[in-house]
Chain A
């Protein structure tokens, strides 16, 4: 718990809060100011918009502890604000609300718009842009836009206080310009192609190995644990004689870290030198789900070399999927496959797989399998 001192609706307040408590929860649960509504809790809907030091902020993306010394105004604190009185009247006159859930956030945003554009003519299109961070799911925006325009077009009624100005100072930063300019080391992307596949994504990659195809196939086929250990972040908890596996996939992408635990099945086709792993799992932390398959084929490339083709198809749902828009995952998978290639090559040369940390530019969690391997039957 941290001690927090701030002003809420003009009143000095002191409280002990957990750092993870966001401002909306603090206002609602600790100050009992339930006019601040929570919709999405990740910055999309705008229902929780309040004023911090006079400026609108998302209270779900503002942790209460970050408001130390700040002045916070929720919709309740604007009861007698002359501009808010006019906006409320205008919202009533123009039928700018129906269920009212988005209204506190709408009003706080509307007040800021009127303050910033007072005396200017604002087109409906631009006003809608300014309003785009506040979602209304029942009335629609026509009435809301009309209500705000009505107030904007009558600035003579009451002088409108302008939005608070913040200050930036000129700093002494000459020494920064004398720092060395470092060139980036551009890593070349591995050959890979991806495409949408129904709801999921399909990524294909191919690479060559300086080892004969029989040796590669034997290594993959006969030592599943060793193969799995070549894939950064993949941990096999058990494997049965019939190919059922139970494992965890740790994936890291910048600040994102997911731990997808699940079950799957491994099938080998010795005649075609190909294998397929299918599985599905869940990240307990975020409630995200993933399912997918990896198909790999080893072919003779002549001169004691072999080529390996990998096709990954997967589908994500839940929070993880929201951050995996478009081709973000592609970048991760590309690096995973490249590391798999390097590690597999090292293993085939009889070397100890290099530590994941040194190799891994994405800080994927590398977990040793040696101590964790248990047989499927051993569990019973």
Chain B
């Protein structure tokens, strides 16, 4: 189908994007690979699209001792191709490679994917497990949030009016830490029905598992023994109530496989 009519504007200044987002029914786009289908199917009918994909301040990175800041408009393909300093010992490129298809990865961006907040998006689960953060910039300044707090529900984030995701902060992973990722998709490249992610850094005292694509925000379990599986069912029941028996078992099995397949980095 063809989308409803909308206005389209290339944004050349970050502050202007924030200002324009404050009023009216405009939506930010970078690659528009998730919003595009909704527009074409006329499920989303915004008055205007504000294209921030060319903003230079969103198209780069900054490396520091404790991690990496990734500009929001960096594409999945660029991460897959290793154009960022590898602070995650290969985790980011590996997860990027599994997102949709190459033609989609060439346009879809890490910031866009988080702001769209599809519960089945890979970065939502992966970065929740790694302890990633988003940098939010608005008209009144900025703030940071952990990805697991930022996504509050299906297509629903903590973004305020006039605020956008400017960058994503990825922590530097220590040698010897462990990461596992598994997703249950009906077909390669389709949005997942369940995602399991696990991250363990014994030296830093971090043990975290994530059940993603539950339909709401990611279910995160943290602390020693999180990988053991004893608290998974209870966490799913508390944080994602209402899953039917089939979904519940799919999520538990998917996380079990993520743990089983996890590797030392």
Contact = CB atoms under 8 A, between A and B. Distances in A.
Q: Do A and B bind each other?
A: yes
Interface in A321-343: 322-323, 325-332, 334-335
Interface in A184-228: 184, 186-187, 189, 191-196, 203
A196 B246 contact: yes
Given A68-B10, A133-B102, A254-B155, A177 B64 contact: yes
Contacts of B56: 169
Interface string B25-39: 001000011011111
Contacts of A330: 215-216, 242-243
Contact of A254 (B37, B81, B154, B191): B154
Interface in B184-215: 187-189, 191, 193, 213-215
Contacts of B44: 255-257
B75 to A, nearest CB: 8
A25 B77 CA distance: 25
A66 B77 CA distance: 18
Nearest to B188: A132
Contact of B152 (A55, A191, A288, A361): A361
B104 A58 contact: yes
Contacts of B4: 20, 285
A255 B38 contact: yes
B35 A255 contact: yes
Contact of B155 (A61, A167, A253): A253
Interface stretch (B143-151, B173-181, B225-233, B253-261): B143-151
B163 to A, nearest CB: 12
B146 A184 contact: yes
Contacts of A187: 152
B189 A169 contact: no
Contacts of A128: 188
Contacts of B104: 43, 58, 61, 133
Contact of A42 (B41, B152, B214): B41
A269 interface: no
Contact of A43 (B1, B33, B152, B188): B33
B43 to A, nearest CB: 5
B162 interface: no
A62 interface: yes
B172 interface: no
A57 B102 CA distance: 8
A325 B121 CA distance: 13
B144 A181 contact: yes
A41 interface: yes
Interface string A156-192: 0000000001111111111011011111101101011
A226 to B, nearest CB: 28
B127 to A, nearest CB: 14
A310 interface: no
Interface string B134-149: 0100000111111011
Residues of A in contact with B, size category:
35 or more
Interface in B65-93: 69, 71, 74-75, 77-78, 81, 83-84
Nearest to B5: A20
A128 B189 CA distance: 11
B242 A203 contact: yes
Contacts of A68: 10
B258 to A, nearest CB: 18
Contacts of A20: 2-6, 39
B43 A256 contact: yes
Nearest to A201: B244
B106 interface: yes
Contacts of B63: 170
A42 B40 contact: yes
Interface in B84-140: 84, 100-104, 106-107, 116-117, 119-120, 133, 135
A362 interface: yes
A176 B145 contact: no
A256 B38 contact: yes
B235 interface: no
B244 A195 contact: yes
A19 B150 contact: no
A255 B117 CA distance: 10
**Which interface residue of A165, A179, A203, A254 has the most chain B CB atoms within 10 A?**
A254
Nearest to B66: A177
A162 to B, nearest CB: 11
B144 A331 contact: no
10 contacts: A20-B6, A46-B103, A167-B83, A174-B62, A192-B242, A285-B42, A285-B43, A325-B120, A325-B193, A327-B242
Interface of A: 2, 18-20, 22, 25, 41-44, 46, 49, 52, 55-58, 60-63, 65-66, 68, 109, 112, 128-130, 132-134, 165-174, 176-177, 179-184, 186-187, 189, 191-196, 203, 253-258, 285-288, 319-320, 322-323, 325-332, 334-335, 361-362
Interface of B: 1-8, 10, 27, 32-33, 35-46, 49, 51, 53, 56-57, 59-64, 69, 71, 74-75, 77-78, 81, 83-84, 100-104, 106-107, 116-117, 119-120, 133, 135, 141-146, 148-150, 152-156, 158, 166-167, 169, 187-189, 191, 193, 213-216, 238-247
Given A66-B51, A181-B133, A187-B152, 6 more contacts: A55-B77, A181-B144, A182-B145, A256-B43, A286-B1, A361-B156
